[in-house]
Structure 1
């Protein structure tokens, strides 16, 4: 094919140009710098051209495919699809390596034009969303993915283009939408770090940033939660960017070209440190398994990975007509075949999903009614809502204890919401009764479960009796210090099903006096949340 590659001498564009030349395509490297384009063309044995996407585009005529690898795509201005429309008008397919969610999703406006011409126009034919979605399809194997968790973790010696650096800096410290537990939430760019394992046991840390996956995957795959993180190998860079993000939360200053260049110089000064090993991880959690696809690129081959999906697609004889984001347009098998001449290792691993309540209860968990079991099968985050009646105890001692633990005020038919979040140790429950909130953390302990409220921890001897789940308190501590039994609250708490509805009944009595502290009972149903296509 005759392929014009705009931005073809950039970090990712130059690697894609090399891959396409290897495959025998007639490649023209294009951009605003004649010298840079010609230098790469001389090295690869292909053509060079000066082309500005904002200038005349007559040179697109005669090309079979136009690929935009320039970016940054979020700054393309009011007429952001000018190049794509010009390519289709010139009877050429259009592909790009965009990592901007709005740009990828918006390309569907050209779908009628592309279909009428029988041409392909795809945005995001890169590591995300093209390669990540290919992995999701393969890992799901027909099952519905409840959680999709993706990370890209480059080595420190991998080159960084100005477009990529600008995109990361502009997202740091800014609010961004994330689909968690069936609803849109706001998080801060470059926050919530998490460790990921790559082939060979290599551990890298990722931080949340915005990519097309968070916007496109909830509706396409029907997932409850979609998470993406990116990482930097060196701790000084990760936490330096975290400090930058914290500063931008306080003072929303713009990211200027000068600031981007300063960041590039700083990153360049640290280039001798770290390694050229980078990777990618995609994990899908289904009802029964947690399945991961992991990639490790050695010896600086990581920057080739963003071009792999485009290479795989362009190996086909016929490209799919229509315009839109590049979600599930190539298969993982095609992508892995397109990496066969790179120094890349991939692996798949899986493990059974083992929720904390199933771990503690064992076979007894399966004796619970379905609506009760369902409340304890949180894959990553789940939301529950209902109403409850709250009765507060009288007397100074019960009132002091209720204030200490943040228990809700007395009232009937109070709205109640519970957000359950899976953690490495177990789960976190955030309960809201009306305007009052209190949080607890649950984890497995020897012989049962432990629930922690601030400095107080209580051992719970969970058991199932007559299809109800009971939560008696058997021990406690404040910090590391054990509490004597006479200082333990008396808990009569159970969960059960009534008329197919999940119901809870919690009656807590104060230590020493036995006076009632609080009694709350009511019902909950899973809050299926919002339409993922509407933010």
Structure 2
């Protein structure tokens, strides 16, 4: 029976990444998975757990339609030819690492696979290891096999995103990429060890078209990860990491002038402490952070504070086909526990393609450009993973809401698009309709409403909203039955990038625009009072959305907070006047 199955040997199969790969591929009836590692006992325990029914369903392997699972002992420092000959895999996936520490015999597993005509892939994130695998290219071609290194987030997914954005450019000057893991992800020890090897050490990047020395976990850039139409991650700093992209990008793009790859961990204060420790290495007060790997891992587990979501970005800058300066950004957000699956989705996609007879070209090479973005997105659709591309032209701004929403603008119902279509600078648009107004009864609520000028409670009052474009902002003047108040809206800058900032008197509220079916939800992501950042849990928010009903723009605006209770709620409809 097993002779008809595709045999996959996963080195590190019961580890962090190998285990996730095994779980993702467990539904494949044509697959024989060899869960391999130095400890046969740990491999047996993992296979038993994988076979255990969960949530009332059959466990992987217990179902006749599932993959066949087998625990095996495998020692990468043992007799590789004997072990591989005995196990007879069609594909070996090395999911162990850290690849940065493999030393002089770094490619012994790859060599053994090529020598026996066995295909090979790994999820290496070591610049030297991934780039160096090309030295085995001739041997792999002679044996009619392939060896793909770095089939992970960096460089396989990052290059797939880059290649999806590249057709918009006539020249690409800069590429930056970064990963923002959820603070609730239990980072594996090998990942921490890999990062610790270069913390505070020189990392080669491009600056002004020349090779330059950056500081590992010291150099930084701030990015807000926000796929179009999704509430963004909190803005954060990304610290420079030594990723294969830094070596591969100059070979891939002639004339490239700037490169950066980073990691943005949460909570940010813990990341700042990590960066400070890296500086101790730079100034030779510590030889390395490698001896502190377990301590660093425990710290990341014990201080899991923040949203249960993670993300990734790839940002490209250059000249577009019309000769204008343009920035394109591919953004990804993964909800809950789905983020940790991303590093092995590339390998999963490769295996599924092999099972359908789609085989990569023979040869040994980095996996950069090996898969298309569509290969990853097909897998993302099975999880709570949202991606999207934002195109920004530095010389021509779109109307405010369209600029913030990016490609998600196309999902707005026509009535909503008409309200937010914008207009000429200094020109006004007017919409009118009817509204119902409710007011909170608390003292503090009445004070806040009075400061801003919210109208009194009323039923079925005429309402008029006047929109005036003034540079990059819009001024909204709302008139409810003769009582008017105004605010102005603008796209946030810096750490508030891609958020709508609305200013009411001394209050500045930061809002994510999130399409949800026929509705556009306005989700509060931060606020300031007199320019001072305030705690989010005290933010003046509520259930606020716009929607189309019977062809009309309808609004439901709720403003309140923990301290004030309800301040005001107004609902109704508007129609844009000709």
Same fold (TM over 0.5): yes
Alpha-carbon distance between aligned partners in 1 of 2:289 and 2:13, rounded to the nearest angstrom: 24
- Pair 1:340–1:151, CA change in 2 (3 A): same
Structure 2 CA distance, aligned partners of 1:167 and 1:353?
38
Quickly say closer, same or farther: Cα 1:198–1:11, change in 2 above 3 A: farther
1:240 paired to 2:246: no
2:281–2:289 contact (8 Å) kept in structure 1: no
In 2, the alpha carbon distance for the partners of 1:295 and 1:192 equals 20
Which residue of structure 2 lines up, in the alignment, with residue 297 of structure 1?
Answer: 334
Q: 2:313 maps to which residue? A: 281
Report whether the alignment pairs 1:89 with 2:89.
no
* Worse-matched range after superposition: 229-238 or 243-252: 243-252
User: Which residue of structure 1 aligns with residue 70 of structure 2?
Assistant: 47
- Do the aligned residues in 2 keep the contact of 1:4 with 1:60 (CA within 8 Å)? no
CA contact (8 A) 1:194 1:207 kept: no
Partner in structure 1 of residue 92 of structure 2: 66
- State whether structure 2 residue 194 is matched by structure 1 residue 164: no
2:41 to 30, 35, 42: 35
> Residues of 1 paired with 2:168 and 2:221: CA distance?
30
State the partner residue of 1:76: 102
**Residues 414-452 of structure 1 deviation map (CA, whole Å, 9 limit, x = unaligned):** xxxxxxxxxx89xxxxxxxxxxxxxxxxxxxxxxxxxxx
Moved more, 295-304 or 186-195: 186-195
Q: Deviations over 1:308-353 (max 9, x none)?
A: 1111222222122110111100000011112222221111111113
2:239 maps to 1:207: yes
Find the aligned partners of 1:138 and 1:174 in 2 and give their Cα distance: 33
By how many angstroms is 1:257 displaced? 5.9
The CA RMSD measured in Å over matched residues stands at 2.0
How far apart are residue 209 of structure 1 and its match? 1.3
| Residue of structure 2 aligned with 1:227, choices 245, 260, 266 | 260
2:226 counterpart residue number:
198
Given that 1:31 and 1:50 are in contact with CA atoms closer than 8 Å, whether structure 2 keeps it comes out as: yes
Q: Equivalents in 2 of 1:204, 1:165: separation in Å?
A: 23
Shift of 1:296: 0.8
Deviation at 1:141, TM superposition (A): 1.8
Q: Does 1:110 align with 2:106?
A: no
Distance 1:22 1:340, change over 3 A: farther
1:314 aligned to 336, 351, 354, which one?
351
Which moves more between the two structures, 172-181 or 201-210?
A: 201-210
How far apart in 1 are the matches of 2:332 and 2:41? Answer: 35
Q: Deviations over 1:393-428 (max 9, x none)?
A: xxxxxxxxxxxxxxxxxxxxxxxxxxxxxxx89xxx
- Note if contact 1:204-1:233 (Cα within 8 Å) is conserved in structure 2: no
| Residue 19 of structure 1 pairs with residue 35 of structure 2 | no
3-state DSSP class of the match of 1:233?
A: coil
Q: Is the 8 A contact 1:111 1:323 kept in 2?
A: yes
Instruction: Choose from 176, 182, 186 the match for 1:155.
Output: 182
State whether residues 169 and 255 of structure 1, in contact with CA within 8 Å, keep that contact through their aligned partners in structure 2.
yes
Alignment of 1:395-414 (within 5 A): none
Match of 2:525 in 1: none
2:13 aligned residue: 8
Question: May I ask how many residue pairs the two structures share in their alignment?
Answer: 357
Helix, strand or coil for the counterpart of 2:147? Answer: strand
Structure 2, unaligned runs of 5 or more = 1-5, 51-60, 62-68, 321-325, 397-492, 495-578
Match of 1:181 among 186, 202, 208: 208
* Ranges in structure 1 where 5+ consecutive residues have no aligned partner: 356-423, 426-535
- 1:241-269 CA distance string (max 9 Å, x none): 01101111112534476521122222222
User: Could you say which residue in structure 2 is the equivalent of 1:134?
Assistant: 160
Q: 1:28 Cα shift?
A: 1.1
Alpha-carbon distance, 1:128 to partner = 0.6
Deviation at 1:234, TM superposition (A): 0.1
Distance 1:268 1:17 in 2: 24
Counterparts of 1:306-385 in structure 2 under 5 Å?
Answer: 306-316=343-353, 317=357, 318-354=359-395
Task: Assess, with a 3 A threshold, how the Cα gap between structure 1 residues 218 and 252 changes in structure 2: closer, same or farther.
Answer: farther
User: What is the CA distance between 1:135 and its match in structure 2?
Assistant: 0.6
Partner residue, 1:466: none
Secondary structure of the 1:201 match is coil
* TM-score (ref. length: structure 2): 0.59
CA contact (8 A) 1:29 1:47 kept: yes
Partner residue, 1:267: 300
Mapped partners of 1:292, 1:221: distance in 2 = 17
Deviations 1:201-254 (A, max 9, x none): 223421111100011111112222221111111022111101101111112534
